[in-house]
Amino acid sequence: MAVGPAFANDCDAVASASLKQTGVPYRSEMTITTPGQPPQKAQAVYMVTRLYTQMDGKWNAVPVSAQEMSQQIETSIKNGGVSCRKIGPDQVGGEAATIYATHGVQQGNTVDTKTWISNSRNLPLRSVANIVNGPNSQTIDMTISYDHVSAPAGVK
């Protein structure tokens, strides 16, 4: 697929979807790959005021603020030296989406991400982030669903 030059409005599209996501419950499933190690599986459930994460079979919950998350997204995209470009159309689970690529440096990490944004809902459906810090690297492949989301049973 040919990739065009980066445009500010491409970052606006990514920011808009990410900001909208802070106000919507969702479930994500991640595969975290680090060279030389077996892949790790993780899950997260975001309920707007609490974030539940599961790694190695154990769930944890932390309070979150949609407003703080929104501010972090705005700061990261608008002031963090992030560049964005539209790659083109695709589908995730049969849902039409547009892929956007972002590149930035955050806390010493170079982060290159592809994000699939739903054409109908303007919400992220998938992201693949490649994170490099010196000789260390990691890939996080995340799929996101918004239907029938509830907090994990018994987790406070």
Two structure tokens written together for 130: 């490649």
Q: Name the CA dihedral angle for 61, 46, 37, 139, rounded to a multiple of 10 degrees.
A: -150
For the record, the structure tokens of 74 come out as 């705005």
DSSP strand E in the chain: where? Answer: 26-33, 40-46, 50-55, 58-63, 83-92, 95-106, 109-118, 124-133, 136-145
Q: Is the pTM of this model over 0.75?
A: yes
Residue 79: what pLDDT? 64
45 DSSP β-pair partners:
27, 52
**Tokens read off for 155:** 């987790």
CATH number belonging to domain 8-145: 2.50.20.20
Distance of CA 24 to the CA centre of its chain: 14
Q: Which two tokens stand for residue 93?
A: 């689970």
| Encoded tokens for 121 | 């809902």
Q: Which amino acid is at 25?
A: P
- All structural domains of the chain with their residue ranges: 8-145
**If you search the block for the tokens 């609490």, which residue do you land on?**
50
Per-residue pLDDT of the chain (156 residues; tens, 9 = 90+): 333 444 456 888 998 999 999 999 999 999 999 999 999 999 999 999 999 999 888 999 999 988 888 888 777 766 667 889 999 999 999 999 999 999 988 778 899 999 999 999 999 999 999 999 988 999 999 999 999 999 999 887
Predicted local confidence at residue 104, as pLDDT: 87
118 touches 16 (CB < 8 A): no
